[in-house]
Amino acid sequence: MGLLTDPRVGTGKMIKFLLKREKQLCFLLYIAGVIYTMILAVPVFNEQTYFSENALLPGLVTKESNLDQTSKQFYYELLHEMKRYPDSMPYAWLSAKFNQLHLDTFIHNFSLTYPFKQQKFTGQNIYGIVRAPKTASTEAIVVSVPFRPINSVYLSTAPSVALLLAFAKFCRKQKYWAKDIIFLVTEYEQLGMQAWLDAYHGVTSGQEGILIAGDLPGHAGSIQAAINLELHAMKISSIDVKVEGLNGQLPNLDLFNLAQSMIAKEEIQKTFQRRIDSTDTNKLKKWWYHFNTLMTMIATQATGIPSGNHGLFHRFGIEAVTLEGFEKTGKGSKANFYQVGRVVESMVRSLNNLLERFHQSYFFYLLPSTERYVSISLYMRPLALIVANLFIKAFSIWQKLLAPVLQSDEKDNLQIQNIKIKNFDIGNIASEILWAHTFGVCLLLSPQMFTSIGRQMWNLHTEDSIYFGNAMATTLTLLWPLTSRRMVKYKNTLLVFVIASVELATTLICVAMCNFSLALLVASVYVPAVLFSKPRQGSVLGFRILLYILWILLHPFVASSIVILGYTYVQFPEESLLSLIFSGYRATKQAFVFSIIDSMIYGNWFYNVTTTVMLPIWLLFWNIICLKSTS
């Protein structure tokens, strides 16, 4: 505290150097942070994956399963049944098959009350349990599949259901299981999985009264790990291992290593982010390829949306991954369900060996390939270098406000002049900060109001009401300071700048503790904008206009729209410009609704943090550069 409050501290050599070289230092730190991020894909800056938990005994078991023929039989029966129910799950058929396999079979009913129209939807999950034959039901392993009907817009998972049934038949005959094995088929993708997990643990993860999980008629032991299957064909070209979970959480690295090791042992092509590891002998090209894989993971993790049903297990301390297999097209080797079944068998039997929960390996990591990882001790450094700029900038302004001020005379010699700035308008500063955060909270609570007004006055759909409501709020925030004639004192504006910079830096560090990728991406675009910003007081008009444009693009509403438009272009590059804009517009409206619903149902905090933290910070900086300051 003495460093911040003692006015004599500014006379130190370190402080004088900091005030004199602030811009150069910030520039170097930011560039160093960006370069450090890029070289994380270089082998020198990452490590070879390895098993920390020796109790898994990966690959040492003698595999006994041959699920190919049994899977085919179940698959063709299931296809016939799915044609009878093209829009729903064949509950009776699945339940009958579980019973025929002599599993403890249960049906879980759940319901969803849509928050904007008060419509109610119902669904069912079906699961069977193979009880551990020689131990008490204290621990369990889950093998799950999200059921997708024929009319689903997503790739079919019927082969996954067939493999799950075949594997359940195999497991039922074995006597070496030390843990219960739960075979779960969920309806409505992640909705059914969230309802089942909430019911299993007796909690409500989202808002009360929206996803009503109900009660489970049957339980097993404490779930230790889960394997989610998304196999889209009986013959596949590769298996992609998905790890990204809700709010950026990741499973223990040992489980990822286990999956990759077992896939490779069965001579199936293994991938991560649907990318095969590069074998290029050119080091530069190999680095660039793995850097792109790394950035793909960062982009996926930053959204906070699970990449599969596995991502909902992590909040309960359950390690889980998704194995996604894609249909073989063209020439090349292909894997059948004899090999895929042995991958699942190997993983479940390795998990069966565990004597305790996963804890040995990393829970925080980045992956440039299937065999290399970047630990938290390495990837936090570039973020620290970038965020340090905000603290340096804030500290520099603070020193100029409360401590000696360095001024330059005509001969460019530095002189120290003790100037104490007194009598801040604390009331005005506090009200400005309070107003910005109050606006963010109001916007967080506004979707219900936007939907109600849009439906009653203009008969708008939910997504249109929320989109236009946010667009109106964005327009007001942009125009108000530009049209306001209110004058603020320069010293008050500088103090608000200090507070906003420290708040942004603290927010980025806190977010990085759970979702590093989101913090890194936000820091990469916001920090340069903050460093170039300063209160409006006789600056060059051209620079001021560029600053306005920059901060408009950084508005959360505008920035998210640009990102979604860019993603639409990547997915559909063949579309015309007009068609691309219209598709991006529709995708943006849907994304806003989905982010709100995700926060209500799953507890995804992306929308909450954006409206209550990032938007108020943006408002503070927007007012700083727009409102005219007096000396």
- The CATH number for 193's domain is 3.40.630.10
By residue range, what is the domain housing residue 491? Answer: 11-40+379-404+424-626
Match 């989101």 to its residue by tokens: 518
pLDDT of residue 537: 61
Q: Is residue 482 part of a domain?
A: yes
Q: Compute the distance between CA of residue 321 and CA of residue 400 in angstroms, rounded to an integer.
A: 52
Q: Is residue 261 part of a domain?
A: yes
Task: Using DSSP bridges, classify how beta strands 104-113 and 211-212 pair: parallel, antiparallel or unpaired.
Answer: antiparallel
Q: Is residue 417 part of a domain?
A: no
Structure tokens at 480: 């108000």
Query: What does the pLDDT average to over 427-442?
Result: 87
pLDDT of residue 351: 92
pLDDT of residue 131: 93
Nearest of 255, 332, 247 to residue 599 by alpha carbon: 247
Residues 243 and 112 in one domain: yes
Query: What does the pLDDT average to over 520-538?
Result: 86
Are 163 and 344 in contact by the 8 Å Cβ rule? The answer is yes
Query: What does the pLDDT average to over 5-12?
Result: 52
Q: Is residue 1 part of a domain?
A: no
Residue ranges of E strands in 272-395: 319-327, 365-366, 372-375
Q: φ and ψ at 525, to 5 degrees?
A: -100, -30
pLDDT of residue 332: 67
pLDDT at 542 over 70: yes
Residues 190 and 339 in one domain: yes
pLDDT of residue 414: 42
Burial class (CB in 10 A: 0-12, 13-18, 19+), 347: buried
pTM recorded for the entire structure = 0.88
Residues 144 and 287 in one domain: yes
The residues pairing with 112 across neighbouring beta strands, listed in sequence order, are 121, 211
Three-class SS of residue 229?
Answer: strand
Are 326 and 233 in contact by the 8 Å Cβ rule? The answer is yes
CA angle 432, 438, 440 (to 5 degrees): 110
Query: What does the pLDDT average to over 569-581?
Result: 82
Report residue 539's pLDDT band, with 50, 70 and 90 as the boundaries: low
* Helix, strand, coil % in the chain, rounded to nearest 5: 55, 15, 30
Q: Is residue 3 part of a domain?
A: no
303 CA to centre of own chain: 4
pLDDT of residue 486: 65
Q: Compute the distance between CA of residue 20 and CA of residue 24 in angstroms, rounded to an integer.
A: 9
Q: Is residue 500 part of a domain?
A: yes
> Please, what is the angle between helix 462-483 and helix 577-601, to 10°?
100
Number of domains in the chain: 2
pLDDT at 483 over 90: no
Three-class SS of residue 401?
Answer: helix
Task: Using DSSP bridges, classify how beta strands 47-48 and 372-375 pair: parallel, antiparallel or unpaired.
Answer: antiparallel
Query: What does the pLDDT average to over 437-460?
Result: 88
Q: Is residue 154 part of a domain?
A: yes
Domain boundary among 370, 396, 415: 370
- Lowest-confidence pick of 305-309, 369-373, 490-494, 539-543: 539-543
Domain boundary among 327, 345, 370: 370
Residue 417 neighbours by CB under 8 Å, 6+ apart: 404, 405, 407
Listed in sequence order, the DSSP H helices in 459-489 are 462-483
Query: What does the pLDDT average to over 451-477?
Result: 88
Average pLDDT taken over every residue of the chain:
87
Residues 575-585 as b/e (b if ≥16 CB within 10 A, e otherwise) read eeeeebeebbe
Q: Compute the distance between CA of residue 353 and CA of residue 160 in angstroms, rounded to an integer.
A: 24
- Percentage of the chain surpassing pLDDT 70? 92
Phi-psi group of 342: left, alpha or beta (phi > 0 → left; psi -120 to 50 → alpha; rest → beta): alpha
Report residue 144's pLDDT band, with 50, 70 and 90 as the boundaries: very high
Report residue 410's pLDDT band, with 50, 70 and 90 as the boundaries: very low
Count CA within 13 A, CB hemisphere, residue 327.
8
Residues 459 and 315 in one domain: no
pLDDT tens-place string over residues 585-605: 898 888 999 999 999 999 899
The DSSP-derived string for 523-556 is HHHHHHHHHH---BSS--HHHHHHHHHHHHHTSH
Burial class (CB in 10 A: 0-12, 13-18, 19+), 259: buried
pLDDT of residue 1: 41
Residues 16 and 142 in one domain: no
Q: Compute the distance between CA of residue 523 and CA of residue 390 in angstroms, rounded to an integer.
A: 10
pLDDT tens-place string over residues 87-130: 889 999 999 999 999 999 999 999 999 888 778 889 999 999 99
Residues 191 and 59 in one domain: yes
Query: What does the pLDDT average to over 614-630?
Result: 86
Q: Is residue 413 part of a domain?
A: no
Taking the CB of residue 88, how many other CB atoms lie within 10 A of it? 14
Q: Look at 50 and 4; give whichever has higher pLDDT.
A: 50
pLDDT at 173 over 80: yes
Query: What does the pLDDT average to over 196-217?
Result: 90
DSSP, res 364: S
Query: What does the pLDDT average to over 311-332?
Result: 89
pLDDT at 257 over 60: yes
pLDDT at 212 over 60: yes
Residues 15 and 142 in one domain: no
Residue 295 neighbours by CB under 8 Å, 6+ apart: none
Task: Using DSSP bridges, classify how beta strands 211-212 and 236-242 pair: parallel, antiparallel or unpaired.
Answer: unpaired
Residues 120 and 258 in one domain: yes
Domain boundary among 324, 349, 370: 370
Residues 226 and 100 in one domain: yes
Residues 364 and 385 in one domain: no
Three-class SS of residue 239?
Answer: strand
Residues 571 and 607 in one domain: yes
Query: What does the pLDDT average to over 203-214?
Result: 88
Query: What does the pLDDT average to over 130-158?
Result: 90
pLDDT tens-place string over residues 22-58: 889 999 999 999 999 999 999 988 999 988 887 887 7
Report residue 240's pLDDT band, with 50, 70 and 90 as the boundaries: very high
Residue 117 neighbours by CB under 8 Å, 6+ apart: 462
Residues 360 and 386 in one domain: no
